[in-house]
Amino acid sequence: MSFEIVQIPVWSDNYAYLLVAGDGSCAVVDSPEAGPVLRLIDERGLRLTHLFNTHHHPDHIGSNKGLLRRFPDLEIWGGSYDFEQGRIPGQTRVLRHDERFSWGGTECRVLEVPGHTLGHIAYAFATGAVFVGDTLFVGGCGRLFEGDAAMMTHSLYEVLGALPDESRIYCAHEYTEANLRFALSVDKDNVALKAYSENVRRARALNQSTVPSLLADERAINPFLRCDSAAIHAATGSSVDRPRHEVFGILRSMKDNYRN
């Protein structure tokens, strides 16, 4: 079985996701506010059963209390670290790395992907849809607010990077144009990146979403998944034997200070 994924633009650049099962039940993946989600649920006559949080930042858990007021039996799931820290309002279930559960008739595997925050998790459904929050963006990755470069590198390469090429990456922000401007500044001869950037430019001119992306495309265009390439070594002034996480750390600092 499968489910419909409805992308909900929220605030200036956030995306919340409504997962709609065939029986009329639905789930939400992160949202900064409840209003847009509730309007869509009411319009479609759905019943909300689950809320899947990736991490504790306000633009991801801001809807929790409002959704819980409307649906008092709502299941709110999140990671173990955030539960221990009491950072996800209303959390009812603790999820750990490699744990599996079924929703909407589809199996989901929980992936711990710390780096952006220490408690960040991703939801990898058997359909190929992977909800990554702020860990991996189209052409970019999340800032290191709590974790370090080694932690994020492991999350990107060993955890998310172990998923199949055809995985569809659903991130939580429309940051793609800015990410690709930086990517081109450090990987200017990348033919795949140039072509992808042009497609994104056309899509955004029509106010179209650039999310989701394929993991295969991220491997080809995303500088944070190309830290072993000659181009990124050159851009970061790294030798070929420099540890990957150190290359990543330099690259992430460059992005943090990039202005264009």
Does residue 233 carry a catalytic annotation?
A: no
**Dihedral angle computed from the Cα positions of residues 223, 228, 231 and 232, in that order, rounded to the nearest 10 degrees:** 50
Burial (CB count <10 Å: 0-12, 13-18, 19+), residue 28: buried
Does residue 57 carry a catalytic annotation?
A: yes
User: Left (φ > 0), alpha (ψ -120 to 50) or beta: where does 235 sit?
Assistant: alpha
DSSP 155: I
The label of the residue with tokens 């008739």 reads 105
Taking a C-beta distance cutoff of 8 angstroms, is the pair 61, 33 a contact? no
Does residue 116 carry a catalytic annotation?
A: yes
Q: Which of 50, 57, 120, 154 is catalytic?
A: 57
Q: Which of 56, 82, 120, 134 is catalytic?
A: 134
Q: Which of 60, 82, 120, 154 is catalytic?
A: 60
Helix (H, G, I), strand (E, B) or coil at 89: coil
Does residue 73 carry a catalytic annotation?
A: no
Q: Which of 116, 120, 154, 187 is catalytic?
A: 116
- How far apart (Å, rounded) are the C-alpha atoms in residues 221 and 217? 6
Q: Which of 30, 59, 82, 187 is catalytic?
A: 59
Helix (H, G, I), strand (E, B) or coil at 62: coil
Tell which residue, 25, 78, 85, has the closest CA to residue 52.
78
Q: Which of 50, 55, 56, 154 is catalytic?
A: 55
- How far apart (Å, rounded) are the C-alpha atoms in residues 215 and 129? 10
Taking a C-beta distance cutoff of 8 angstroms, is the pair 144, 136 a contact? no
Would you say the C-alpha torsion 5, 8, 12, 14 has a positive or negative sign? negative
Does residue 55 carry a catalytic annotation?
A: yes
Q: Which of 56, 120, 154, 173 is catalytic?
A: 173
Please count the CA atoms within 13 angstroms of the CA of 124 that sit on its side-chain side.
20
Does residue 59 carry a catalytic annotation?
A: yes
- Would you please indicate which residues are annotated as catalytic (active-site) residues? 55, 57, 59-60, 116, 134, 173
